[in-house]
């Protein structure tokens, strides 16, 4: 029998050797006991229960074909940041283990909390979705600002999109199975060994309560063999993804509202509220589940109210503060698609919506604002930060993007807000370039930046070759600047590139 | 927010004096420390401690984990288990929020009972009262050979566990298991979708803790 600290060597099915340090009390979850390699670069995770042939086959597919498909191609390394993907399988007698890269170091707390002993603990997603945790229990240096969570959501959406592209479903996406770091704006999807692989029986999981899709909840009482029983799949992932994004951005649960369905039995109440009867708390046409501030006061512990209330005040921080793109996606996820899985937005749509929304974000002018960013609201005459109420006091150029269409230009519906620090990139100028993992180093360099000087806004061309003022027909060579005024039309790059139409608001 | 109330009923009769009671205190301290590190438990679990010796006392009212202070616990006297059961029912009536149309009530409380002996009062009225209410996952623990397992089985027929002795390492294993049970319940509340099947959500106990 191994002793604490002993080095154990194991050989994988493919013939590679791995080492781990024995511990009498390893890190452990519901299903696995986890041991670290001597250099802590990977872990050996033993399943507590024996795995049958189907399970081993499924794992083999994951570490083999599917891993190769995602990581093997050009740019495959990109995904190493986003997934903690098992790399190999070990069999020891009747025990099966997987080799998994260790979580990256940014996913362990540096400061943790001023009151709790969680320094070096894992930055499990749950710490950041409950505002009491985020703004009371965690050290302020751990929580980033509002922009951090948009970036995190973008990475999660991207991670889910890539998985779905490969035909895989995660099946248990939740704040337990993602690690996030608001400080470095990173996120990673973990617990990949539970993925649903086409043609293989899925794992016996129903998921994590807050993220289980309504159709799964509603049929959970049926036996697994019943054809009406709904099991986790790509569409249930899309529900979980929408819930995750809503929770990271708004610190509240989209379905956890005021309506009580069963006064006698709390468990049954939740099963109905998240299943068969689920209603979006902000559904504009069905307000049955919507709560107000008084209800929140009555339903949250007093000591937590200062942290919960700003976020749970649905009148002050409605989901429309996320801007038109995300509002539209949430309507599809939580109204049209809530009980109609095929209507839910796909992961790539969340990606696009988040990217377009980030272009609408401007920095709050209050240096003490905790959120530091907000989404510009086109319909408000006096833009102000929804979190701290500080008005935005300087002129705000809005760049409307137009696509070249034969000899004229057509609106794309995309907009970019200009603040000190806004940059335009290839993916703004060139309709064939998308902001995703395929960007080359060259494409990641900005084309233009903006400066506010003595009350006026200027665009500075950094490297675009064919930038032109379309009204004066004058070229704007790299290195030169041009003032932004109402109505100015600038072609961003070559003949086929997009045009920006400048609109000055908040003058 | 629905809270997850957890009541710990601890025998503080004379026989618990010394190593057993020190181990209980130690175990409780570790339990609170571990639960505070878990964001889900920290959010929902609320803890109360009731001791029973010559009398039953709620020495810590239902308190959120972040505000929990370690109580003084000392052992001596007899074992009024029946009174303790009456008390936990009364505390529940006062402390646990009932669901109404306007308010989400708490989850059903979890109850852990730890005793090393035989009750010195008549436990039956307490048992009757306790059994007349619906509880979440509840466990009684016979700490050492002196406890009356048949009686404990009447209190929590869903689960009685047994420790070979009430020493430091065994009690510490028991408290670890209680901790893991609270964590897993706080995570999986409502997973089964039923109100009774909550016992199978508890993690398997360590070898020191035998299911009776
Ligand atoms: N790749 C890893 N790097 C570092 N630590 C890890 C890694 N994988 C697992 N661990 C640690 O081991 C613990 C258990 O692992 P994991 O959550 O994967 O097991 P599980 O049994 O599948 O758990 P769950 O209950 O979430 O299904 C984790 O909480 C974590 O602390």
Residue A397 confidence (pLDDT): 95
Nearest-CA residue of chain B relative to A126? B39
Verify whether ligand 1 is closer than 6 Å to residue A205 (CB atom): no
Quote the tokens at residue A461: 């061309």
Verify whether ligand 1 is closer than 6 Å to residue A84 (CB atom): yes
The rounded mean pLDDT for chain B is 91
Question: How far is Cα A489 from Cα A482, in angstroms, rounded to an integer?
Answer: 11
Residue from the list A176, A263, A270 with its beta carbon closest to the beta carbon of B190: A270
Residue B13 confidence (pLDDT): 95
pLDDT, tens only, A185-216 = 999 999 998 898 877 777 777 778 899 999 99
> In testing the pocket of ligand 1, which one of A26, A27, A118 has its CB within 8 Å of the most ligand atoms?
A27
Q: How much of chain A, in percent, has pLDDT values that exceed 70?
A: 100
Nearest-CA residue of chain B relative to A208? B188
Q: Residue B12 sits in which domain range? A: 4-63+74-95+104-111+119-211
Give contacts of B190 with chain A, Cβ < 8 Å: 209, 266-267, 270-271, 274
- Tell me the average pLDDT across A379-387: 88
Q: At what angle do helices A323-331 and A347-358 cross, to 10 degrees?
A: 160
**pTM of the predicted model, to two decimals?**
0.94
Residue ranges covered by each domain of chain A: 7-102, 127-359, 394-505
Which segment of A18-22, A107-111, B186-190 scores lowest on mean pLDDT? B186-190
Residue B204 confidence (pLDDT): 84
Which segment of A146-150, A435-439, A483-487 scores lowest on mean pLDDT? A435-439
Q: How confident is the model at residue A30 (pLDDT cuts 50, 70, 90)?
A: confident
Q: A270–B195: do the CB atoms touch at under 8 Å? A: no
pLDDT, tens only, B148-203 = 999 999 999 989 999 999 999 999 999 999 999 999 888 876 554 444 445 667 88
Q: How far is B31 from chain A (nearest CA, A)?
A: 13
Answer yes or no: are the C-beta atoms of A414 and A398 closer than 8 Å: no
Give the residues of chain B that fall short of pLDDT 70.
189-200
Residue from the list A117, A130, A221 with its beta carbon closest to the beta carbon of B33: A117
Q: What is the ipTM of this complex?
A: 0.90
Give contacts of A274 with chain B, Cβ < 8 Å: 190
CATH of the domain at B144: 3.40.50.410
Strand-pair category, B45-52 with B4-11: parallel
Residue A378 confidence (pLDDT): 79
List the beta bridge partners of residue A7.
A21
Residue B198 confidence (pLDDT): 57
Q: Can you say whether residue A5 is alpha, beta or left, with left for phi > 0 and alpha for psi between -120 and 50 degrees?
A: left
Nearest-CA residue of chain B relative to A264? B99
CATH architecture of A394-505: Sandwich (2.60)
Does the beta carbon of A505 lie under 8 angstroms from any beta carbon of chain B?
no
Higher pLDDT: A382 or A456? It is A456
- Tell me the average pLDDT across A312-332: 97
CATH number of this structure's domain A127-359, picked from the four choices 1.10.510.10, 1.10.1040.50, 3.30.1370.110, 1.20.200.10: 1.10.510.10
Ligand 1 center to A101 CA (angstroms): 11
pLDDT of A262 above 80: yes
Verify whether ligand 1 is closer than 6 Å to residue A481 (CB atom): no
List the beta bridge partners of residue A483.
A458
Verify whether ligand 1 is closer than 6 Å to residue A34 (CB atom): yes
Asked if residue B42 is part of any domain, the answer here is: yes
CATH code linked to domain A7-102: 3.30.200
Q: Can you say whether residue B74 is alpha, beta or left, with left for phi > 0 and alpha for psi between -120 and 50 degrees?
A: beta
Q: How far is B177 from chain A (nearest CA, A)?
A: 13
Q: HEC profile for B9-37?
A: EEECCHHHCCHHHHHHHHHHHHHHHHHHC
pLDDT of A464 above 90: yes
Q: How many domains does chain B have?
A: 1
Asked if residue B69 is part of any domain, the answer here is: no
Asked if residue B47 is part of any domain, the answer here is: yes
pLDDT, tens only, A214-237 = 999 999 888 888 999 998 999 999
- Tell me the average pLDDT across A328-337: 98
Residue from the list A265, A274, A299 with its beta carbon closest to the beta carbon of B1: A299
Q: A303–B67: do the CB atoms touch at under 8 Å? A: yes
Verify whether ligand 1 is closer than 6 Å to residue A300 (CB atom): no
Residue A218 confidence (pLDDT): 92
Residue among A149, A182, A148, A316 nearest A249 (CA):
A149
Q: Count interface pairs A-B at CB distance under 8 A.
A: 85
Q: How far is A311 from chain B (nearest CA, A)?
A: 14
């Amino acid at each position: 029998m191994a002793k604490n600290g002993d080095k154990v060597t194991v050989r994988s099915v493919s013939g590679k050797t791995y080492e781990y340090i024995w511990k009498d009390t390893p890190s452990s979850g519901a299903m696995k006991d986890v041991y670290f390699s001597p250099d802590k670069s990977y872990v050996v995770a033993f399943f507590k229960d024996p795995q049958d042939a189907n399970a081993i086959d499924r794992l083999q597919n994951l570490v083999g074909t599917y891993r190769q498909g995602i990581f093997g191609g050009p740019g495959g390394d990109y995904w190493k940041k986003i997934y903690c993907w098992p790399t190999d399988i070990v069999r020891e007698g009747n025990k099966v283990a997987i080799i998994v890269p260790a979580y990256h170091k940014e996913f362990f707390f540096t400061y943790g909390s001023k009151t709790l002993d969680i320094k070096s603990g894992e930055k499990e997603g749950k710490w950041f979705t409950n505002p009491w945790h985020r703004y009371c229990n965690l050290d302020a240096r751990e929580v980033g600002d509002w922009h951090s969570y948009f970036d995190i959501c973008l990475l999660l959406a991207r991670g889910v999109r890539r998985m779905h592209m490969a035909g895989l479903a995660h099946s248990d996406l939740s704040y337990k199975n993602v690690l996030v770091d608001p400080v470095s704006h990173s996120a990673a999807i973990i617990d990949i060994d539970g993925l649903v692989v086409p043609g293989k029986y899925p794992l016996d999981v129903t998921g994590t309560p807050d993220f289980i899709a309504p159709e799964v909840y509603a049929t959970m009482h049926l036996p697994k063999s019943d054809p009406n029983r709904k099991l986790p799949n790509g569409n249930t992932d899309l529900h979980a993804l929408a819930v995750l994004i809503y929770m990271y951005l708004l610190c509240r649960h989209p379905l956890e509202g005021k309506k009580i369905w069963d006064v006698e039995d709390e468990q049954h109440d939740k099963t109905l509220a998240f299943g068969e009867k689920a209603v979006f708390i902000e559904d504009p046409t069905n307000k049955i589940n919507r709560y107000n501030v008084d209800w929140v006061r009555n339903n949250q512990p007093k000591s937590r109210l200062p942290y919960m209330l700003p976020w749970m005040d649905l009148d002050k921080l409605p989901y429309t503060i996320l801007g038109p793109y995300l509002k539209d996606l949430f309507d599809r996820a939580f109204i049209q698609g809530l009980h109609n899985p095929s209507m839910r937005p796909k992961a790539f749509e969340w990606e696009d919506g988040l990217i377009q929304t980030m272009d609408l974000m401007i920095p709050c002018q209050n240096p003490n604002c905790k959120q530091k960013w907000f989404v510009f609201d086109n319909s408000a005459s006096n833009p102000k930060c929804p979190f701290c109420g500080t008005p935005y006091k300087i002129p705000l150029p809005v760049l409307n993007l137009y696509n070249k269409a034969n000899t004229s230009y057509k609106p794309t519906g995309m907009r970019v807000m200009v603040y000190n620090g806004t940059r335009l990139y290839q993916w703004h100028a060139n309709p064939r370039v998308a902001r995703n993992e395929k960007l080359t180093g060259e494409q990641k360099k900005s084309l233009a930046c903006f400066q506010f000087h003595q009350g006026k806004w200027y665009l500075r061309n950094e490297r675009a070759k064919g930038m032109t003022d379309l009204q004066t027909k004058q070229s704007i060579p790299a290195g030169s600047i041009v003032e932004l005024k109402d109505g100015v039309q600038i072609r961003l790059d070559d003949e086929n590139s997009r045009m920006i139409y400048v609109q000055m608001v908040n003058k | 927010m629905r809270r997850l109330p957890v009541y710990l009923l601890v025998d503080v009769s004379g026989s618990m004096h010394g190593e057993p009671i020190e181990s209980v205190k130690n175990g409780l301290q570790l339990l609170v420390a571990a639960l505070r590190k878990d964001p889900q438990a920290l959010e929902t679990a609320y803890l109360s401690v009731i001791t029973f010796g010559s009398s039953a006392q709620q020495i810590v009212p239902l308190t959120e984990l972040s505000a929990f202070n370690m109580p003084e616990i000392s052992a001596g006297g007899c074992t009024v288990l029946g009174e303790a059961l009456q008390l936990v029912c009364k505390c529940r009536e006062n402390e646990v929020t009932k669901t109404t149309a306007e308010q989400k009530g708490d989850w059903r409380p979890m109850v852990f009972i730890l005793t090393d002996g035989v009750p010195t009062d008549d436990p039956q009225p307490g048992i009757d009262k306790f059994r007349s209410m619906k509880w979440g996952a509840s466990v009684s623990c016979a700490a050492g050979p002196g406890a009356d397992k048949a009686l404990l089985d009447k209190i929590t027929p869903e689960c009685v566990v047994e420790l070979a002795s009430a020493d430091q390492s065994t009690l510490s294993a028991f408290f670890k298991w209680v901790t893991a049970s609270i964590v897993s319940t706080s995570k999986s509340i409502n997973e089964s979708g039923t109100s009774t099947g909550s016992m199978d959500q508890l993690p398997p106990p360590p070898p020191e803790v035998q299911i009776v």
